[in-house]
């Protein structure tokens, strides 16, 4: 692209580093910002910088948090005997939004993926095992992605917890609400038959 | 959404003000930035702020420019007798990318659109008429969008230029390269028959 301004070219270059944003979208965003009040652009910029520089994570569950211990871990209304293991904080938000879970979380920060150079030591697994040993946790729910990496991570953690008196479960896998059987892949469909649940009148 | 951090919430709010970016995408971008080096986030932020605060426009054609007169207006290799009237600087880039145009530009900054509260006075039309009167311009090419607003703007400028010895033209409108006739709308197809051009062996 032929930019007539170094400032514009630079801004487009930096915006296009964001995931899912190409040069054209970056240009559109840059030109949009040019038409906004200076104050708005400065608010955006300072929000990004202060997010990056000042963010902290909960010391117990590694969820994002402005305080040392996050609101969920600090709450008296949550059940501290159940721990839900998730990949990242987006999953915490997703589960919180369902309103169906009342226990605590443990955010791994990813899943075991040798191809991306992520081994167990890059994740918060040691601290998870330590929590299970030190806190009065009775049940662990694995809520990782339904992929090979997710399953590997589940299995690795399961092995680490062997010998401890604890119930482990994974979130149910099967056909989603609204799915049609004919478009469902065989593995999912096969599993959903294998793990069928008693019929309930809702 | 249930953010566990004010910093994150604030960043997501500011990012989601950008056009075409919803809360979910904003969250994805914010979490991506969290994983990047501080320096990259600071470069992005400062690129945005300095773009907004320091950008200048060419005094002649209102194209974006780091100098008082843009590279195109200042070039000795361009034909100063032809002026291409466009809506905004993205159009300048698009036409420059074709490599088919060697004249100068005049960026209006939009098109007449009463519904959006944009009248002729909000656009750089007076300065266009002044340029035509003062400079040795022989031809004006209207390269505005093929919409009612674009046509209105064309017509308004055409009226302003009445009485001046000048050739005016619009860029050709018709079916695009790769278009199939059966999917082309009637107005476009009708116009493309009306404005047919001599057949050339390419």
For residue B62, the chain A residue with the least C-alpha distance is A4
CATH class entry, domain A64-198:
alpha beta
Burial environment of residue A20 by CB neighbours within 10 A (0 to 12, 13 to 18, 19 or more): exposed
Q: Quick one: residue B178, left, alpha or beta (phi over 0 = left, psi -120 to 50 = alpha)?
A: left
Residues B67-78 pLDDT 10s:
889 889 999 999
Q: Model confidence at A76, in pLDDT bands (50, 70, 90)?
A: very high
Half-sphere exposure of B179 (CA within 13 A, CB side): 13
Hey, are the CB atoms on B38 and A25 less than 8 Å from each other? no
Closest alpha carbon to A19 in B39, B35, B50, B49? B35
pLDDT at residue A17 greater than cutoff 70: yes
Please answer whether residues A75 and A69 qualify as being in contact, where contact means their C-beta atoms are separated by less than 8 angstroms: no
Look at B19 and A28 and tell me if their CB atoms are within 8 Å.
yes
pLDDT tens-digit series, residues B11-30: 999 999 999 999 989 999 99
Full-model pTM: 0.75
Instruction: Select the residue from B52, B65, B71 to test the A interface by mutation, using most A Cβ atoms within 10 A.
Output: B52
Structure confidence by residue, pLDDT tens digits, A127-158: 999 999 998 899 999 998 888 898 899 999 99
**B8 and chain A: CB distance < 8 Å anywhere?**
yes
Put simply, the answer to whether A46 touches B45 (Cβ < 8 Å) is yes
pLDDT-wise least confident of A86-90, A138-142, A180-184, B9-13? A180-184
Q: In this prediction, what percent of chain A has a pLDDT beyond 70?
A: 98
Identify the pLDDT of residue B82.
92
Give the pLDDT band (50/70/90) at residue B202. Answer: low
Residues A104, A60: Cα–Cα separation, whole Å: 10
The CATH number of domain A6-54 is 3.40.50.1820: no
Chain A: nearest CA to B158, how far in angstroms?
28
Q: Domain boundaries in chain A?
A: 6-54, 64-198
A52 vs B30: CA distance, rounded Å:
9
A18 with B32: Cβ contact below 8 A: yes
Mean pLDDT in residue range A48-58? 90
pLDDT band at A190; cut points 50, 70, 90: confident
């Amino acid at each position: 692209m032929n930019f007539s301004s170094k400032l514009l070219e630079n801004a487009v270059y930096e915006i296009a580093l964001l995931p899912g944003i190409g040069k054209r979208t970056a240009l559109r965003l840059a030109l949009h910002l040019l038409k906004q009040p200076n104050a708005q652009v400065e608010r955006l910029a300072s929000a990004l910088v202060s997010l990056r520089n000042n963010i902290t994570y909960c010391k117990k569950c590694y969820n994002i948090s402005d305080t040392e211990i996050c609101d969920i871990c600090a709450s008296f209304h949550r059940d501290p005997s159940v721990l839900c293991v998730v990949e990242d904080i987006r999953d915490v938000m997703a589960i919180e939004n369902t309103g169906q879970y009342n226990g605590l979380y443990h955010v791994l920060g990813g899943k075991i993926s040798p191809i991306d150079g992520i081994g167990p030591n890059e994740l918060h697994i040691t601290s998870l095992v330590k929590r299970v040993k030190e806190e009065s946790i009775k049940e662990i729910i694995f809520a990782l992605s339904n992929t090979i990496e997710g399953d590997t991570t589940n299995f690795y953690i399961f092995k680490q917890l062997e010998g401890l008196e604890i119930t482990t479960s994974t979130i149910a896998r099967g056909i989603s609400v609204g799915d049609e059987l004919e478009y469902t892949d065989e593995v999912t469909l096969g599993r959903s038959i294998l793990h069928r649940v008693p019929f309930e009148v809702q």
